[in-house]
Every structure is written in C-alpha cells, then in structure tokens.
Chains A and B, each alone.
Chain A
Amino acid sequence: MKRKLIAAIGAAGMLVSVAACGSDDGKGSGADGFKGQTLTVWAMDGSTPDTWTKDVTAAFEKKTGAKVEFEVQQWNGIQQRLTTALSEENPPDVFEIGNTQTPAYAQTGGLAELEDLKKSIGADWTETLNEASVFDGKQYAAPWFAANRVVVYNKKVFKEAGVTGIPKTRAELFEAFDKIKAKGKAEPVYMPGQNWYFFDGLTIGTGADLVKKDGDKWVSNLADPKVGEAMEIYKKYASYSTAPKDKDEATPQQAEVFAKGKTGAFIGMGWEAATAIKANPKIEKDIGYFTIPGETADKPEGVFLGGSNLAIAAGSEKQELAKEFLKIALSDKFEGQLSKELGVIPNKESLQENLKGQPAGEAAAPAVASGGTTPLIPEWAAVENPPNPIKTYMTAVLNGKSHAAAAQQVEGEFNKRLAQKQ
C-alpha cells in the first residue's frame, strides 16, 4: 500500500499536521495569545530537511511564542493513520497531504477551509500546482512543493554508444536508445511495466482524460484512443527494457538497478540518483538529467506533478495558530529554502530560481507548466488502492493485449471503485 501511495504522491509527502496537546484553543490573536500552546505538524518521511525544520521552528516560535512539534510519518499505512487521526480529539493541527488525495479528504469534512489564507499569501501560487487544493470551488489546502519525473541517464553509456547531445524530442530519445541497444553493452532504459505515474504523465501529454462523467457519476474513460496513444508511447519505452512487466519502479528500486552501470537511463525523480550513488558511489560522476522530451522540441512530455499540500485539520482547536504556521512555512523565504534543500519544485514560479545549480531540479522545472495530476475527484483515491486497475491495464497491454481489450478487462473494477460509496 505504501508504495502506491508513495507513487501517488510522487516525491512529496502526504501530509503533516500540527497537533496541539492540551492548552486551550487558539482564539487569542497576536504574538502573546499563543504562548504556552504547542502546534503538532505531521510531515512525511523525507519532506522536512533538518535545517529547514530548525529554521522554520525558530521563526515560528519567535513570531507566535508558541511551540511547534514536527512528527515525521512513515509511509506504511499512512492513509489509515490519517483518517483515524482526523477523527480523534486531538488531531494533528497541520499535516502534509498528497495533492491527489486532497479532494477525497476535503470531502470528508476533515480539512479546514483556507480561503482567506489563499487570499493573503496565495495569489501567485502556480496554477497547475494549486488545482489540487481546491475542491468544490473552495480552497482546502495550500500547495507546498511538487516534483516531477525527469530522464536520469548514465553519461558514460550514452557516450560510448555514440549519442552526442541531449535528446530534444521523443524521436531523438528513441534513436539514442537504439544506439545503446545496438552497442549491446547496456539496457537502454529501465522501464518496469507499472511505472504508472510516468504513464499518467503521458496521458496528460496526449490530452487524454482517465475518467468521464456518465450522468452524475464518474466512469472509466480508459477506452479512449488518446489513452491508447499514451500507452503506445509507454510500450515503446518498455520495449527497450527487460524489467518486469508487472512491477512498478520501486520493486526493485530502479535506481539500484541503474547503479550497476549497465542501464542507459530511467525515468524517475531527481533524488533517486542519491539511492543509486549509495549503492555504487562510483556512478556519481556519470549521472546526468534532462527533461523528458515530448513530441516536439518546444514542448516537453506531459508529466505527473506529484506534490504535497499542507492542510489544517478541521478538528484542530488551534486554527489561527495553524494558519500562522502555514504563513511562515510557505513564505518565500522558507519555500525557497525548502526548494533548495530538497531540490523540489516550489509553489511559485518566481521561486524556481532556487533550483539553480541543481541539475535534476533544473531538468524538472520546464515541464511543470504543462504538467498535471490524476483526476481531482474524491472518488479517485479508491482507484489507486492496490491493485490499481490502471497498472493491471498497463501490464496487460505490455503482455500483448490490445489497448481496447485491456481497457475493457479492467473497466468493471475501475467503475466499481469510482462508484464506491463515500
């Protein structure tokens, strides 16, 4: 479960909240009104680098006089933990929540509405990133950070195969793979059958919608030829790989496979390189990144924007204090610092300069404007619960089924999940 979740969120975490322990509610305003209170923040493992956490804590405590406690959450079982936590007397006050999961939680009434926050600090949040925080026309979370996939490649393998220059179009990329294949010393790209977020990006690129309205309910739109088109592209990628057709990119970790030096490239998050380097430090100097090239050189491939939002629990007794925290954590200063430290895409385009000098981040940024997410409907969460029918569809196509037959095969399960009672 954890892995799907992870994948869902891509890089980002799910959510963090701030839970306050004891003390009365935060109706007091002004610096002194918060004294003696403690705000609890749930952040996912990996979302809050030490320096950032320390600096934000200091700034927050200075401004409000209250304390903040970060509780780092593990991925395993996070949804169940979050759902149950939101039902408790002392929910975490602020929490990190995956962008695609926000609508489902907004609909439960577990998230506090944040219209005024959006007005005061969110006027210039990147549109494609903010979309996921809005449900039914209202703001229920704040975009925190995002990440999207790039091509992580082995410069040495590319060079030895005679590939010069960075591929600017999809066709050029496949040419490069052909050369590596012809050379015969390395697998051109590692592409397991169920890298579903990469596939989601491809469908965004072809303009496909995964679901459509049928009357007042949502149903599968997998049979759409545009989905098939995206799958054809995926299939082409997979044809260069011997990776398992029924596994996602985390089993085995694609970066560890890549670390052996016998793989030309993989599509992944920039930080996955660190995993590769840990497995084989010698690979570091050979690692490079580029934006996933699209059909034409002027528009990169569609990408899934995995992201994290910050939300406030509706049941929190410290609404005001929690908002103060968001204002600080999401300020240009700390948003920029987080972007720099994690190499993630910040919530404003103007802050993207913080990625300078980070090759992975620089490769990712150009695709943000044309990126997208999974369908932003509360019903969607059920679709990605394992076993994700879209992954089943992908494996079926890669194993030789036609697009139409595979789409039909999973349609029943897909629709059943979309129809689940909320």
Chain B
Amino acid sequence: MSRPRSTLGRVWPNALALVLLVGFVFPVYWMFATAFKPTGDIISENPVWFPVDFTFEHFTTAVTADNFWTLVRNSVTVTVLAVLFSLVIALLASFALARMRFRGRRGFIVGFMLAQMAPWEVMVIAIYLIVRDADMLNSLIPLTVFYMMMVLPFTLLTLRGFVGAIPKDLEESAMVDGCSRPQAFVKVILPLLAPGLMSTSLFGFITAWNEFPMVLILNKQAEAQTLPLWISKFQTVFGDDWGATMAASSLFAIPILLLFLFLQRKAVSGLTAGAVKG
C-alpha cells in the first residue's frame, strides 16, 4: 500500500467516528440542554443550541412533584432487587447449562429462549388478575418478582456464555488441588465472571427501571408507585410541558447512564480479557 492511501486510511475512520459520535450523542445532549432552558427558549422558532439562560426551574418542577422521593426509593428497591435475584438464580442455572451434561439440557436451553419471547405488555391483565386475587396489589413484591422474571431468561442465557468462556481447566485444576466443586466455583470462576455479571445486569436495570404498564394498574396507591409514572405526569391535560418532561427524563436517565458508563468499560475490557484466554 502506498503512503498517501494509508494517510487517508487513517483519516476516514476518525472522521466517520466523529460524525457517528455526533449522531449518537445529540439526542442525549438535546434532552439535557432542553431541560436547562427557560420555556421561552424551548418553544422557539430558531433552536437555542446551548442553554444560555440557564435555569433549574424545570428540575424544581420535576423534583417537587408529589411523592417524588418515595417513587425514587421504590424504583431503586424494585430494580436492584429484581436484578440481584435474577443474577443469583441465573448464575446457578447457567453453571449447570454451560458445564454439565445431563438429560434435558437442550430442552432447558430452548425453553429459556422461548421464555425470552414473552410479550409482557399484553399479558398485563392476566398478571393483574393473578395479583389481585392473591391480594397483593399496591405492593412492591409482585413488581420485583415479575421484573425479575422479565430479565431472567436473557441474564441466564448470556451468563451461560460467560461461564462457558472460562477455561474448564482452571476449575479442574482447582479441584485437583482439593477444592470441592462449589469451592472451585466461588474461588476461581466467580471472580472471572464479575464482568459478565456486571454487563448482564445492565439489561436488567434498564428493563426494570422502565416498566410502565404493569405498575400502572397493579399499584394505584401513590406510595407504591415507581418513576415511569412520574415522567408521564408532565405530559398533561394542557399538552406537554417539554421543559419539565425533559428535566424528568434527564433525571430518570442519569442513574442508568452513569451505571452504563461505569460498568460497560469494565465489562468490555474484562470480557475481552476473559475471552482471549479462552
């Protein structure tokens, strides 16, 4: 290859990457920017690209909504518990599926793949009737367990991949060294799985954090509701309060964005490291 071509070869990926970067980031930026602009600048014939007249007014509107902190607490509780439970349950199962031979293994794998297809939004009324008849309305427990179930199949199948990618020899040599199988699992495999656990949990966080149709009818008491109901609050009778909606959306997105930025780097690098060894 000639020199000029390789210069070009170095420039275009970077140029393309920049264009992509703008495309991917702009909507996120616009959400935050809108949230900080006074209403007059939001509804404007010419877009105001930067929030020059910086205001926290919309955030105040969003945060001072009734029960805001209760909803935050509920959302965090439900999401974290759902993700934790699904990780634990999935981890046990994925170990069996990735490492052991037994009758029915294929059936289980395909079964969980099928479970992934459940259309939860349209099963809401069936779930409502079950929960109502079990006298569990207005409780965080049904939310937690159903959210757990929503993410369980994906978590399980993905973790199975991570477990499978860990060289079996590692575990076996630990066992030769006198560890029992569970010991070998905790001492050798679990640390290697940490990135996998983190990255699968992201999916769970997003799903549980966002769920709307179920909490809408299961939990009618304000004290038992979650944040997605709060966001819809600002799109009201009088049309949409874009400023408050964007502020609420920003606040709603921040925990997930931070979690992603924090976990994804570790997850990707950890994963690649683990996978290369495999």
Contact = CB atoms under 8 A, between A and B. Distances in A.
Interface of A: 2, 6, 11, 45-46, 71-72, 74-77, 80-81, 84-85, 87-89, 249-257, 259-260, 271-272, 275, 278-280
Nearest to A47: B237
B137 A256 contact: no
B194 interface: no
Contact of A251 (B43, B237, B239): B239
Nearest to A274: B238
A279 B237 contact: no
B40 A255 contact: no
Interface of B: 39-40, 43, 45, 66, 128, 132, 135, 137, 213, 216-217, 220-222, 229, 232-233, 235-240
A271 B236 CA distance: 13
A74 B238 contact: no
A275 B220 contact: no
A46 B229 CA distance: 17
Most buried by B among A77, A84, A250, A252: A84
A85 B220 CA distance: 8
Given A71-B221, A253-B239, A260 B132 contact: no
Given A74-B232, A84-B128, A89-B135, A45 B39 contact: no
Contacts of A278: 39
Given A81-B216, A260-B43, A272 B238 contact: yes
Nearest to B228: A76
Contacts of A257: 43
Nearest to B128: A84
B238 A255 contact: yes
Contacts of B221: 71
Contact of B236 (A11, A75, A260): A75
Contact of B216 (A80, A88, A253): A80
Instruction: Give the dominant DSSP class at B's interface.
Output: mixed
A74 B229 contact: yes
Contacts of B233: 45, 74, 76
B237 A75 contact: yes
Given A74-B229, A260-B43, A255 B239 contact: yes
B238 A84 contact: no
A253 B40 contact: no
Most buried by B among A85, A251, A252, A279: A279
B28 to A, nearest CB: 22
A81 B239 contact: no
A110 to B, nearest CB: 15
Given A89-B135, A260-B43, A45 B217 contact: no
Given A84-B128, A256-B43, A2 B238 contact: no
B233 to A, nearest CB: 5
Contact of A87 (B40, B132, B216, B238): B132
B203 to A, nearest CB: 26
B239 A76 contact: no
